[in-house]
């Protein structure tokens, strides 16, 4: 077992990993940038090293600085959290060549899943349903026109190196294809240094549904069911829940089985998330795979009883999945997460500053993952997520009622937050009915541009 782990992250996820280390009897080492000196991840770690100035590129994303800290602290392993270096195949490779265990999949798997067209082809070969579209990347605009004819409009072109919505264009007719293809190509080339594009049939009002998987280094895989992440705006998720109101026990069982077989074939290791779009008739189509722990992992922890971060660490230390989780997993009850962001309620712009009042709710079935506290400061340099409010209930109505009362008891003053927005969403009849898709926020709160 590891004696000491370095956490290459900040904020609530750094604290979440520290919690797992403490419970496993492993020493935790924090790294921090200058403005994060008074952060709770620094306070609760056993050791902490400053790795650079505010700019993430010079601190949290600075690979030599992170590796040096790991060597100075003499750690056995590095947990990357989410974002930052978590899906950087080069970083995972440098860790391994420096004798540091990277807590995540092998670098080759991270690299393959990062090339979205390759991930799509790999899933297709394994029998995971994908959308009609191009076989890999398209060499030219002419090839795109041929595929579009075959697939039928509307289509969407996506950057192979993309994700999060950049380098994507919806194309509704042959006439607009040349312009849209070139726009997506240029955007991808400048954003990712790689202009490669692939094509899919466009789904107008999809639900975003993702499956959580865990795999050990001995070829054992378990799929832990799904999360519904359809409530989002501008590619930022706002609310996630598990199970999805749109997934039947039969569909869940079928998808879990397909994913367990597929992850074995691919040689996947550690925690991962397989993303799908659900179309109007309730079928799921693979879109991409994330090779990290995700922000919304707690909803899966609540309904499965599995500690995903502890599992990640134990798997990296060579544990067998059969010793960690009971199989098969059937979700029990219902869990919802609201992401509390430091942002202006209408403009959705970040709101940095000092938190003058901070009261986090508690009580039965309530979990708050945060690194914030009264008199704490939200720096303007990083992600605006300041807390995750996660509730558990015996069923969806109980979880919603619990979330409403917990939001009422969550007091943050001194900065703007998304708490009021969440209260409004939870009042919506379509949310209450589980009747929503990724266009819900556009309909509910049309945005002035």
In whole angstroms, what is the distance from residue 335 CA to residue 394 CA?
9
**CB contact at 8 A, 27 and 343:** no
The C-alpha atoms of residue 21 and residue 52 are separated, in whole angstroms, by 24
* C-alpha–C-alpha distance, residues 245 and 265, integer Å: 30
- Residue 176, helix vs strand vs coil: coil
- Minimum CB distance to ligand MV4 smaller for 12 or for 275: 275
Distance, in Å, from the CA atom of 39 to the CA atom of 10, rounded to the nearest integer, reads 8
Which ranges of 171-323 does DSSP label H, i.e. alpha helix?
177-192, 249-266, 297-304, 308-316
Kindly provide the residue ranges of all beta strands, DSSP E only, lying in 301-371, ordered along the sequence.
334-341, 353-354, 357-359, 366-370
CB of residue 231 to ligand MV4, shortest distance in Å:
9
Q: Quick one: 66 or 138, whose CB is closer to ligand MV4?
A: 138
Q: For residues 287 and 163, give the distance between their C-alpha atoms in angstroms, rounded to a whole number.
A: 10
What are the structure tokens assigned to 93, written together?
A: 């490779």
CA dist 209 and 211 (Å) reads: 7
Classify 378 in phi/psi space as left (phi over 0), alpha (psi -120 to 50) or beta: beta
Tokens of residue 34, six digits: 């200058």
Integer Cα distance of 166 and 186 in angstroms? 11
- Residue 28 or 110 with smaller CB distance to ligand MV4: 110
Catalytic residue among 292, 339, 367, 402: 292
What is the smallest separation between the CB atom of 213 and ligand MV4, expressed in angstroms? Answer: 18
Closest contact distance (angstroms) between CB of 283 and ligand MV4 is: 13
Nearer to ligand MV4 by Cβ, of 71 and 442: the residue is 442
- The residue among 165 and 380 lying less far from ligand MV4, judged by its C-beta, is 165
Q: What is the DSSP letter of 274?
A: E
Q: State in angstroms the smallest separation of the CB of 286 from ligand MV4.
A: 10
Active-site residue flag, 292: yes
Contact residues: ligand MV4, CB under 6 A: 131, 156, 163, 165, 200-203, 206, 208, 232, 235, 277, 287-288, 438
Question: What is the smallest separation between the CB atom of 269 and ligand MV4, expressed in angstroms?
Answer: 23
Looking at the Cβ atoms of 66 and 177, the one nearer to ligand MV4 is 177
Strand partners, 226: 211
Q: How far is the CB of 350 from ligand MV4 (least distance, A)?
A: 20
333, burial (CB in 10 Å: exposed 0-12, middle 13-18, buried 19+): middle
DSSP 55: S
Residue 304: closest CA among 272, 328, 279? 328
Of 208 and 297, the one with the shorter C-beta distance to ligand MV4 is: 208
- What is the smallest separation between the CB atom of 77 and ligand MV4, expressed in angstroms? 29
Question: Which backbone phi and psi does 169 adopt, to 5 degrees?
Answer: -140, 135
What are the catalytic residues? 292
């Amino acid at each position: 077992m590891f004696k000491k782990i370095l956490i290459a992250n900040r904020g609530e996820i750094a604290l979440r990993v520290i919690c797992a280390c403490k419970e496993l009897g492993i020493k935790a080492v924090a790294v921090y940038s200058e403005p994060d000196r008074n952060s709770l991840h620094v306070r609760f770690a056993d050791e902490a090293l400053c790795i650079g100035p505010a700019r993430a590129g010079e601190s949290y994303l600075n690979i030599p600085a992170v590796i040096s800290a790991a060597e100075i602290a003499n750690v056995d392993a590095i947990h990357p959290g989410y974002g930052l270096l978590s899906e950087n195949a080069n970083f995972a490779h440098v860790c391994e060549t420096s004798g540091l265990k990277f807590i995540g999949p092998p670098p080759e798997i991270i690299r393959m899943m990062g090339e979205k067209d390759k991930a799509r082809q790999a899933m297709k070969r394994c029998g995971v349903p994908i959308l009609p579209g191009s076989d890999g990347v398209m060499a030219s605009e002419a090839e795109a026109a041929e595929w579009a004819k075959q697939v039928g409009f509307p289509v969407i072109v996506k950057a192979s190196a993309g994700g999060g919505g950049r380098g994507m264009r919806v194309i509704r007719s042959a006439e607009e294809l040349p312009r849209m293809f070139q726009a997506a190509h240029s955007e991808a080339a400048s954003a990712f240094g790689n202009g490669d594009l692939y094509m899919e049939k466009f789904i107008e009002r999809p639900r975003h549904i993702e499956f959580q998987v865990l795999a050990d280094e001995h070829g054992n895989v378990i799929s832990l069911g799904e999360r519904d992440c359809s409530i989002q705006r501008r590619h930022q998720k706002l609310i996630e829940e598990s199970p999805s109101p749109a997934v039947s026990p039969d569909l869940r069982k079928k998808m879990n089985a397909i994913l367990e077989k597929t992850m074995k074939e691919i040689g996947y290791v550690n925690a991962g998330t397989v993303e799908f779009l659900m179309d109007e008739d309730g079928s799921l189509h693979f879109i991409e795979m994330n090779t990290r722990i995700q922000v919304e992992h707690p909803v899966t922890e609540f309904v499965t009883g599995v500690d995903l971060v502890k599992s990640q660490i134990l798997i990296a230390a060579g544990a067998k999945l059969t010793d960690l989780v009971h199989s098969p997993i059937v979700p029990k009850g219902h869990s919802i997460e609201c992401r509390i962001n430091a942002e202006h309620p209408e403009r959705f712009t970040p709101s940095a500053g000092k938190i003058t009042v901070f009261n986090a709710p508690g009580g039965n079935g309530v979990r708050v993952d945060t690194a914030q506290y009264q008199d704490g400061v939200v720096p303007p340099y990083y992600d605006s997520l300041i807390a995750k409010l996660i509730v558990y209930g015996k069923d969806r109505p109980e979880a919603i009622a619990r979330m409403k009362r917990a939001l009422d008891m969550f007091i943050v003053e001194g900065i703007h937050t998304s708490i009021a927005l969440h209260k409004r969403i939870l009042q919506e009849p379509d949310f209450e009915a589980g009747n929503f898709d990724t266009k819900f926020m556009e309909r509910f709160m049309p945005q002035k541009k």
